[in-house]
Structure 1
Amino acid sequence: MEPVIEVNELTKRYGGKTAVDRLSFTVRPGRVTGFLGPNGSGKSTTLRMVLGLDAPTSGTATVGGVPFRAHRRGLHHAGALLDAGHVHGGRTARAHLSALARGNGIGARRVTEVLEEVGLADAARRRVGGFSLGMRQRLGIATALLGDPPVLIFDEPVNGMDPEGVLWVRRLFRRLAAEGRTVFLSSHLMSEMEQTADDLVVIGQGRLITAESVRDFAARGTRLSVTVATPRPAELTAVLTAAGASVEGEGEGGREGAAGAGKLVVTGLPADRIAALAFENGVLLHELTTRAATLEEAFMALTADSVEYLAGGTR
């Protein structure tokens, strides 16, 4: 059976609060799928329902066509890291993994293999209570890999990782997807999503906003802007505004100084049209740089109406 995560009309209510609201999406093998949403959007609740840790109020969440709880020896079907802190601090890393291995019919050799794979072989006999957050994250990833499962789910896996660890995680996820596994990754780090994910599932206030490729998502939220440096910003602003552009000053350089120089950020006109208008009006340009919006800017634009808590108490 294909290792697909399928969420269909999934709903979870806690009293009068709806955490997840008729959510539907599919996560397919061979790709890294990022799971995004503002704080309080229902991401963690959704992941817990996919893994059978929370029961939905209505709707379904399946792994490989059946609810995860229906799988015997679940670690052979899906591995997950939801919270690196949920490990008994008095156990060693090897003891923690060995206990899970016995309960899922996994041999001791596999415990050694995953400890080596995540870089914890030398710390295998150390108590987890003395681990740094980055080491706990590595142990959580080892736990997810223990059953060699076709489906892997990770919630904020690079928290506490140093740059080398982040690069290792990024390469690991890409390799797992290349092996044909389903990799579902929740993170608030847009830079990691840009580097790692192929597809995105974006939710807000428990509802689906979009499910599409990273490229298409970025394009949806992209508004090209052009940075222009000129010794005559006021004159160029008037010309570009008359042509239908939106023009703003860029920081301190956006205001005319003693020499009259300034930088402008222009939207609504492409760089070649700006250059042509400047030439036609005899305005000298020192810089003309086109800039596309980042994935983070696209995310902020598309989820602006779904943010539960805003700084300053505004809504």
Structure 2
Amino acid sequence: MIELRSLTRRYGRTTAVDDLTLTVRPGHVTGFLGPNGAGKSTTLRMLLGLTAPTSGTATIGGVRFRDLPRGLRHAGALLDAGDVHGGRSARAHLAALARSNGMGRHRVDEVLGQVGLDDAADRRVGRFSLGMRQRLGIAAALLGDPPVLLFDEPFNGLDPEGVRWLREVFRRLAAEGRTLFVSSHLMGEMEHCADHLVVIGRGRLIADESLAGFAARAGRAEVVVRTPEPASLTTALTAAGATVRPDPDGALAVLGVTAERIGDLALGLRIPLHQLTTRTASLEEAFMELTAADVEYATRESR
């Protein structure tokens, strides 16, 4: 379990992380989201003891990471796939980590197999593609078979097969009861693999809730209607106080009235309906709406 209590980090007059308090629990894939400059990477670095907090605490299993003996047995992390000596082979890199954490070389071979790098194990990392470096970073995170795992942008550079593989890895690890804290800008991937979200903006907590609950908070639920008489139904719905927008595929997107009310109106006017479904906001739509005030660099169109 990960616990942050009043965690704060200031750089001069700039506050990167502002009084952040939250708990990341085992058995879930918790997505860690926020606009650029929100403080996500700084938070992860404080969890791993790479950056000292100005105040507050960041603990893993109730202990600061820097105080854990053989830390990779307690928490594994991928923060920067490029942070590896390019002259070493993948096997040598992992072997050094294993030795310093009291693990045998057999574990190196196991994780190389798990991430699909068996055939590239003795190649120099400097010749690896970004996707291969990502796989090596994931192998390093898994090396100690830890109960807690932290990932920063783990999908970068992976091809579609690799993305699908990593989603399955995350789900399996969560099902085993591990704690997964995953930061990513790829909303589609978070929507597919996360079941809980922590969202921050300008270093402050915006949301700590289920993915479904976060999307529902955006207030963008609408009813999708398909009918052979769209003009007549639009007139009736507008008169009832609804807002109606034609979708590119010919359906009507309706805000302001329930699906039940639309069904009753259509029945009373003898307008046939071919589809009547409620559509909630996507994760990307909810994220853009709920973090709009916390974007550090906004274009004129997004203001």
TM-score bracket for the superposition, by shorter chain length: over 0.9
Question: Which of 256, 269, 277 is the equivalent residue of 2:265?
Answer: 277
Note the C-alpha offset of 1:198: 2.1
Percent of aligned pairs with the same amino acid: 69
Match of 1:264 among 245, 252, 255: 252
CA separation in 2, counterparts of 1:175 and 1:279?
A: 48
Superposition deviation, residue 263 in structure 1: 4.5
> Relative to 1, partners in 2 of residues 1:28 and 1:289: Cα closer, same or farther, differing over 3 Å?
closer
What amino acid sits opposite 1:219 in the alignment? A
CA 1:210/1:126 → structure 2, altered by over 3 Å: closer, same or farther? same
Deviation at 1:88, TM superposition (A): 0.9
Deviation at 1:111, TM superposition (A): 0.8
TM-score, normalising length: structure 2: 0.93
2:164 to 148, 158, 167: 167
Aligned residue in 1 for 2:234: 237
User: SS at the partner of 2:77?
Assistant: strand
| Alpha-carbon distance change, 179 to 236 in structure 1, aligned in 2, over 3 angstroms | closer
In the other structure, the counterpart of 1:123 is 120
- For structure 1, the residue ranges without an aligned partner over 5 or more in a row are 254-261
Shift, 1:276, TM fit: 2.4
How big is the shift at 1:48?
0.5
Equivalent residue number for residue 23 of structure 1: 20
Which digits, 9 at most, give the CA deviation of each residue in 1:11-58, with x for residues without a partner?
Answer: 111111111110111011122111111111111110001111001111
CA offsets, 1:236-294, max 9 Å, x none? Answer: 3332122121122334x7xxxxxxxx643211112332232234335555654432222
Q: Does 1:51 align with 2:39?
A: no
**In 2: Cα distance, 1:89 partner to 1:226 partner:** 53
Match of 1:189 among 186, 189, 200: 186
Long gaps (5+) in structure 2: none
Structure 1 Cα separation of the partners of residues 141 and 209 of structure 2: 26
Cα deviations across residues 160-197 of structure 1 (Å, max 9, x unaligned)? Answer: 11111111111111111222211111112222222212
User: Structure 1 residue 100 and structure 2 residue 97: aligned?
Assistant: yes
TM-score (norm 1): 0.90
**Residue number in structure 2 paired with 1:259:** none
- Distance, in Å, in 2 between the alignment partners of 1:44 and 1:292 is 30
Counterpart CA distance in 2 for 1:236 and 1:314 is 32
Number of residue pairs the alignment of both structures matches: 303
Q: CA deviation at 1:90?
A: 1.0
Find 2:155's aligned residue among 158, 164, 167: 158
